[in-house]
Amino acid sequence: MNIDLNAAHEEFRRYLKKEKHRITPERFEVLDYALEFEGHFGADELFLKMKNNNSNVSRATVYNTLELLAACDLLAKRNFGENKTRYEAKYGRKSHDHLICTNCGSIKEFSEPAIEKIVKEISEKLGFEPTGHSFNIFGKCTNSNCKMRQNEQNNS
Amino acid sequence: MNIDLNAAHEEFRRYLKKEKHRITPERFEVLDYALEFEGHFGADELFLKMKNNNSNVSRATVYNTLELLAACDLLAKRNFGENKTRYEAKYGRKSHDHLICTNCGSIKEFSEPAIEKIVKEISEKLGFEPTGHSFNIFGKCTNSNCKMRQNEQNNS
DNA sequence: TTCAGTGCAAAAACTTTGCAGGAGG
DNA sequence: CCTCCTGCAAAGTTTTTGCACTGAA
């Protein structure tokens, strides 16, 4: 875990240098908190978590740094239709897409190689240079808590 | 065009009845404006357009009605990663997904039957009942205006 | 008659911006 | 030493909510 963290720092440092951004302690603090987060998180959520841990990093810096981390592929930028940007640690992880339960909000991941192939084919056909994609499946999951909520709603 | 509009009204009426929502003139006014819109639009955008046309329908009603129209499949609800909900007339149209140029913001549509197959397979495998999906490819388009902007950015 | 739906304005949630001061290169 | 980055607070954008009133069933 610590090895990963150092390697991630190193990668971020390289990116910042290459793009002529300054190397500041705040940026690495954001990176640490982001990688520590399990699952998806919003920018404000991360900012508040840092604030609660007595970090002095400002909201503006958190928002700005998350953009940089997404740009250099240490984080993935997501949007699950809630009108807020979500991030997810990507460093060293396999790329994947998501199933989102519209009833209980739970999110499952899946990998399907055929999707990359489709991205390539469609882009080529339409004269487009793809840089990424987002594929979300919406529906109802079979989680028992979820079913409970469905029944509650039906009864109300 | 007028025939479509009447048929859409009829479908919306049926839906409202079935779900025990009241049938109000405001809701049909929103439907008319929504179907009239070319391409994608945001809720506030539609509200303002209506307001400028001297409609009295309130912001709250527009937001509420667009949800209903998406729920009954007359509109499709989209999100292209700008943290705002976008809608698009779906009535009588073939389902499709989108290519989004991150440089100039233009949006192209494509249809790829294999995607539905993937949605089905993945959902079945993971114990999930799909109700819809969103598939967006991000990248750079070859539109000439777009290339111009890219060059501007590189030169700055 | 009843209560879901409406208009309006205020609040909420998330993000961006402006500015003055501070530190990285 | 220059200017990019930072913290802070204010403003911006989109969406939701509270409340009193109205009109559909």
Tell me the pLDDT tens digit for each residue of A34-93.
Answer: 999 989 999 999 999 999 999 999 999 999 999 999 999 999 999 999 999 999 999 989
Closest CB from A118, A129, A139 relative to B139? A129
Centre a 10 Å sphere on the Cβ of residue B11 and count the other Cβ atoms it contains.
Answer: 17
CA distance A88 to B22: 42
Average pLDDT, chain A: 92
Residue with the bigger pLDDT between B73 and A142: it is: B73
Report which residue type is found at B130: P
CATH 3.30.1490.190 in chain B: give the residue spans: 94-156
Give percent of chain A with pLDDT exceeding 90: 83
What burial class does residue B87 get, using C-beta atoms within 10 Å of its C-beta: 0-12 exposed, 13-18 middle, 19+ buried? buried
The pTM of the full predicted model, rounded to 2 decimals, is 0.91
| For residue A155, pLDDT beyond 50 | no
Instruction: Determine whether domain B94-156 maps to CATH 1.10.357.10.
Output: no
CA distance B88 to B40: 5
Quote the pLDDT of residue B94.
93
Quote the pLDDT of residue B1.
56
B18 touches strand C (CB under 7 A): no
| For residue B156, pLDDT beyond 70 | no
Question: CATH class for domain B1-93?
Answer: mainly alpha
**Which of A69, A77, A1 minimizes the C-alpha distance to A29?**
A69
Mean pLDDT of A135-140: 96
**Would strands A97-101 and A128-141 be described as parallel, antiparallel, or unpaired?**
parallel
Cβ distance B131 to A142 less than 8 Å, yes or no, reads: no
Instruction: Specify whether the CB–CB gap between A62 and A41 falls below 8 A.
Output: no
Instruction: Specify whether the CB–CB gap between B45 and B61 falls below 8 A.
Output: no
Quote the pLDDT of residue A149.
56
Instruction: State pLDDT tens for residues B68-96.
Output: 999 999 999 999 999 999 999 999 899 99
Q: How far, in Å, are A62, A94, A123, B12, B38 from residue B61 at the CA level?
A: 36, 43, 39, 15, 21
Q: How far, in Å, are B24, B33, B63, B72, B93 from residue B5 at the CA level?
A: 16, 11, 20, 15, 13
The residues, ordered by sequence, that sit 6+ positions from A67 with a Cβ below 8 Å of its Cβ are none
Residue A6: both structure tokens together: 């150092």
Q: What is the CA radius of gyration of chain B?
A: 18
CA distance B33 to B27: 10
Q: How many CA atoms lie within 13 A of B90 on its CB side?
A: 18
Report which residue type is found at B90: K
Closest CB from A119, A131, A141 relative to B102? A131
Q: Which of A102-106, A141-145, A150-154, B53-57 has the lowest mean pLDDT?
A: A150-154
Q: How many CA atoms lie within 13 A of B78 on its CB side?
A: 23
What is the phi/psi pair of residue A100, to 5°? -120, 125
Quote the pLDDT of residue A92.
87
Please name every residue paired with A64 in a beta bridge, in sequence order, or none if there are none.
none
B contact set with A (CB within 8 A): 77, 79, 81, 83-85, 99, 101-102, 108, 110, 112, 114-115, 118-119, 122-123, 125-142
CATH 1.10.10.10 in chain B: give the residue spans: 1-93
Quote the pLDDT of residue A44.
98
Instruction: State pLDDT tens for residues B36-54.
Output: 999 999 999 999 999 999 9
Positive or negative: CA dihedral A93, A94, A97, A98 = negative
Pick among B84, B111, B115, B128 to test the A interface (most A CBs inside 10 A): B128
Nearest CA in chain A to B77: A81
Residue B39 DSSP code: S
